[in-house]
Every structure is written in structure tokens, then in C-alpha cells.
Amino acid sequence: MRYRPRGLAIPDPGSITKTTTLPPVEDRVSRAQGPLADVGTQLLRALRNGFHASNWELVSARESSTGHPVGVLGPQVGYYLPQILMETDMHGPGVDARGATFPGVGLFVLLGHGRDYAWSATTATSDNTDTFAEVLCQDDFHYRWRGRCLAMDKLQRTNSWTPSAIDSTPPSSETLTVYRTVHGLVFARGTVGGKKVAFASARSTYGHEADSALFFSRMNNPNFINGPPSFRAAARLMNLNFNWSYIDSEHIAYQLTGWYPQRARGTSPDFPILGTGKFDWKGFDPSRYEARWLPQRKMPHAVDQKYLVSWNNKQAPGWAAADDLWEYGAVHRSQMIADKVRRGTKGKRKMTLAELVQAMELPATQDLRALKVLPIILRTIGRPKAPKLRAALADLRAWRRAGAHRRDLDKDGRYEFNEAVILMDAWWPKLVRAEFQPALGSAGLEAVEDIVPFGDHTRGTPGPPSFFEGWWGYVSKDLRGLFGKRVRDPLSRHYCGKNSRKRCRAALQNSLREALDVTPAQLYGFGDCESDPQPSCFDRNTSTIASGLSIDPQPFQNRPTFQQTVSLSGGVPR
């Protein structure tokens, strides 16, 4: 968290009232209109609804068994029937590509391949949104900006609907009302220092969703794309926040894209800032909703690195995440893929395409907590005297040695190592609470948990765990620091046992003892899993049905919905 005092507008405690539930990333009332705008809107919806499970992996030519790069590229946009993505094959003047696009707005292939290259993306979750506190004047719908008292724009939209043949929703309508300032949509009101303010969300891409089509027009054009430099030139035209991968027969490349504001000097990018105009983004022009964005050369990028892996992980050291993202740390799910790719390219080893597919596919059923955090937990907890605790730890060790998978290979309705999976799901929230609550207090712990849940399986709602959002990094770093390992960028204190190894070990053993009393029904007995309270039921990938057909829930897989495997042996003459 970056705290700087200039222009700071921290709301008075208890003064905030939400005025809209509209998500800033997908404004229902936008300045963009028409089919090109729909491309951007669809991408933003995909970003919110599923791209947090996307991944891609690239191995350079020198590390590949063929002498040419290999890649596995996969965006994730959730599970629907019919699917959000459709495959299309497009050929014509300036267009020669095949891949995925959104039904109804298929102007270009969005994720796919050209004649002799391929590309894909994962969500970047970088910081392109700020909150400005508009100081009110005259009444609740006027605000001060650059010495003037301006009226807010009032935006209204009426939606109506009637049921379809497969929908029992009664016919009705709604009218949405939202107010807008020069900075963006007003989403809350409150006071700062006793003065009434309106909080507006400023997103760099607001009203410019259609601009993203310029990038796709280049990527679909074989006369333009002929190597990493041309790929990066096209990427300069993409204003949305994505991690883009590129591969051809000789090169691999990565480029973070997006319009990232250059903030006023001395202001804090993680907190609300006064919207009077003095602390606006550099070069901010509200008439066009543009500013002097960060140059591409200052964004994370790479060409022909040994290998590249993206699973919504941190892009580069020192690169800022979005204000509401707290998951980056010592442990991230991308390591489950990167570790396998690293082993496959270590020393004189050369990686095959099949091995790269396996490096992506195996983590799709692995439990991040067991694979990456359990070793330090076992070291911390020691060898309890109680036989039942020792037996429980032995089960967890055996599960991890076998790969820590959540999968049912023999199709008997139960996971292999089912008891260990159940124990981990029961133990994790109790372990986190035992480790951090003594130092934070119950109120402090709950406040932090409201921002970052302990993990996927603390929510009490069936659904596949993504292992993106959770306390794995906090647990690992705290325990490694306390039990003798020097850690980079240590926490401000040792939380477990309040810096006492003995108290920490006792707390973790007690939490394990409590976890053994938790029943599967308490963990998984919700919704469709009430009659079969098992993790294999709770974890299933369930599609959202939007047609007359249906599809049964599928076994848990934490992997993309549209997949490319790429190995090119040569290029096409230009």
C-alpha cells in the first residue's frame, strides 16, 4: 500500500453511503456506442467473469526440443451454454486469422493465430482506476473543479424484459440512474473533514472501450505482424489491461498493455484524492477523457526470455497491482506451472510441446495450499504427541507426495486422498485464524478478511477453487520468518504466537485438532451437494445455462476454456 499525503481525501468514519452498485469496470451507461464498443464491453465482461483463470506458457527456441518456440495459450471466460467464445476462421483483405471471438461482435479474431504466429492474453489486474473525492458546491449535484462549480451529468437508462421459453422471470423493467463528473461515475457519497463529497471512479479506459479494436485489426493482419517488434507496435494500440503473449517460429514475446495514468506528484494511488483539479492525472482532458498515459517502454515486457508463464501473477518487481488486489506475494498459483517449466528447461534439458501441455494441465487439479504452503506448516507444527494428529499429518504428507491433486481418477465419486482434501479444507480457515488473530484481534482479522478472504473454500458456496484469492502468501512468509528462514521483504512482525515459536506451534496443533471434528456436511453440504457432501461435488465446474439445452456439472479443472497448442517450424514470406 502506497501512502502519500498530498491531496489525500480519506472519508470520515461512518460517513460513506453507496449510491450505485454499478461495477466501475463495466459501466452500463458509456460514451462508446456501436459494434466496436461492444468488443470492448465484451472484453471487460470477460475480464470480470472469467479471465482470472486464464493462463499461457511459452518456451523459447533455445529451450525447445525442436529448436523452435513452443506455446500453450488459454483464455478463461467461464463456463456457459452456449459458450461466450466461439471459434471463427476469417480470411479477406487485411484479415487472415483463426481463433476465438464473441458471438455477435466477431469483427476480428480476438485470441488465436495468424498464418505463422499466435497470440493470447490473461487479465493483468493492474492499476488504471482511481477514486476522486468531488467537493460539493451549491447542492448535492454540483461540484468544484478547477475553480468552477459544475453540474454533474445525470445519466438514465431503462431496461425491460420478457421471459423466454426457458425463463420463468416475470416481465418487468428497471430505470437506472447514475451521476457523472469529469472524472467518472459517482458511486458513493460521504464527508471528508466534515465537508460533503461525492466519490467518483476514474477509469482510464472509460468511453474508450472501442479503441481496443485497433489492436485486433493489427493482430489479424498478416501484412503487419512479422515478429516481436510489430507485435509490440500493435500492443501500443491496446488500452485495456491484459498480459499479451506472442509466439512465432523463432521468437516468443510478452507485453503488458493498458492506459496507466501518471498521477500528480506526491499523491497516493491507493487512496481517494481530492477532485478539485489540482491533483488530476497528468495531461488530463475531460472533453476527450484522455491523459498522458505511461509510455509502453516503461511497462513490463520481454522478448525471447528463457520461458514465460502468466496465470494472472504479478508482472514484474515493483509493478503496482490494482487497488483492490492483495493476493500478490510469496506464494502464487503461477508457481505451480512455472516450477514445472523450470524443471523441463533446466540445464541441458529441452522441453517438448507435450511436456509443456502437461506443465499447464497438472496444476489444473492441484491444491496450491498443499503443494506450496504445507511444507512450512509441517515444519512449524512439529511432531505432536497425540496419535490422531500424527495420523492426520501423515495423510497430508502422503497427499502432497502424490501431487496434492483434487481429482477422482477411478470415477467412484470420491477424490483420491479424499480424507486429506477434506482435512485441508477444514483446517485452512482455522489455521489462518490461529496464526493471525492473537496479534490482530478478532475485529482486526475480520476487517482484513473482508478485503482478502482466507481462500476459496471459506465461502460456503459450491464452486471450483481458483486458488487466486487467499492468504497462502501471508501464512508462508510469516511461518518462514518465525522458524529461522530469512525471507525477502519480511512482514512488519511475526504474527504466529506473537513471535513465540512455542505458542505458534501450540496454536497450530490446536487448530488441527479442531479441524478433525469438522464433518463433510459442514463443509460441503450446500445446494446440490447437500445429499452428497463431498469435495468432488463441491468443486465441480457448473455451466451457466442460457439455452434450451443443458449440460451436467463437470469434474473440477482450474484451466482455460479455449486452448491453443503452438509449435511452428517456419514463417510465411511477406
Nearest to 360 by CA among 116, 77, 119, 70: 70
**pLDDT of 514-524, one tens digit each?**
999 999 999 99
In the prediction, which pLDDT does 40 show?
47
Q: How confident is the model at residue 48 (pLDDT cuts 50, 70, 90)?
A: very low
Whether the Cβ atoms of residue 445 and residue 452 lie closer than 8 Å to each other: no
Write the CA distances from 96 to 233, 566, 570, integer angstroms. Answer: 19, 17, 17
DSSP H or E segment with residue 356: helix 353-361
In the prediction, which pLDDT does 47 show?
44
Q: What is the mean pLDDT of residues 490-507?
A: 96
Contacts of 334 (CB under 8 A, 6+ apart): 55, 309, 310, 311, 312, 313
E-assigned strand segments in 162-316: 172-180, 185-192, 195-203, 242-248, 252-257, 273-274, 301-303, 307-310
Distance between CA atoms of 344 and 357, rounded to whole angstroms? 12
Q: What is the mean pLDDT of residues 366-378?
A: 98
Residue 512, Ramachandran bin (φ over 0: left; ψ between -120 and 50: alpha; else beta): alpha
Statement: residue 191 has pLDDT above 90: yes
In the prediction, which pLDDT does 20 show?
63
Whether the Cβ atoms of residue 312 and residue 52 lie closer than 8 Å to each other: yes
Using a pLDDT cut of 70, give the percent of the chain over it: 94
Average pLDDT, the chain: 91
In the prediction, which pLDDT does 23 show?
41
Verdict on whether the full-model pTM lies above 0.85:
yes
What SS3 state is found at 201? strand
**pLDDT of 221-280, one tens digit each?**
999 999 999 999 999 999 999 999 999 999 999 999 999 999 999 999 999 999 999 999
Whether the Cβ atoms of residue 35 and residue 107 lie closer than 8 Å to each other: yes
Nearest to 357 by CA among 372, 371, 344, 370: 344
How does DSSP classify residue 14? Answer: T
In the prediction, which pLDDT does 120 show?
97
Distance between CA atoms of 412 and 416, rounded to whole angstroms? 9
E-assigned strand segments in 75-115: 80-81, 86-92, 95-101, 111-113
Whether the Cβ atoms of residue 51 and residue 222 lie closer than 8 Å to each other: no
Is the Cα dihedral 22, 177, 44, 552 positive or negative? positive
Q: Which residue has the higher pLDDT, 19 or 300?
A: 300
Write the CA distances from 91 to 59, 96, 109, 213, 353, integer angstroms. Answer: 29, 4, 10, 17, 28
**pLDDT of 140-165, one tens digit each?**
999 999 999 999 999 999 999 998 77
**pLDDT of 20-33, one tens digit each?**
654 433 333 333 33
